[in-house]
Amino acid sequence: MIKNSLKYTKNYYSLSDKIKLGLEFIQNNNLKNFENGKYQILNDDVYVNIQDYNTKHENQGKWEAHRKYIDIQFMIEGSELIGVGEIQNFQVQETYDNEKDVEFLSSDFPQQFIKMNEGDFIILYPYDVHMPQISVTNSTYVKKAVVKVVVA
């Protein structure tokens, strides 16, 4: 897991060519003007989902992990908490859905929550279990880009 601000995206270009494409897309586009939906960057290898929603209480969240894609989650507007944890501290709650590339997990261990503000991004690898969309205090509106980068 890597968390930083939009102004530092260039520091992470060396992670991979595909991560670089995703970060450049975030940096070079005014995502506030994008409608919700899926936008291709490099076919199905790198694409972005634009979404908006109201944040929710932690007890309504779900811990999730992916196997095929790395997530780059970027806060376009608003703030939220994202829970993060190491996959070895979790048990499968709902089996892996290959088509949706997601499995849901649970844990008895306390996990860390990271505050994401407008302009922040987080890179989540398949071993980074995460719980997005959590309210900082009260439910608020959020607009987010989730770049999906195929695992090489």
* Residues 100-148 pLDDT 10s: 999 999 998 878 999 999 999 999 999 999 999 999 999 999 999 999 9
Q: Which pTM was predicted?
A: 0.95
CATH class of 2-150: mainly beta
DSSP structural state of residue 56? B
Question: How do beta strands 112-116 and 80-86 pair?
Answer: antiparallel
CA-based torsion, 96, 21, 146, 109: positive or negative: positive
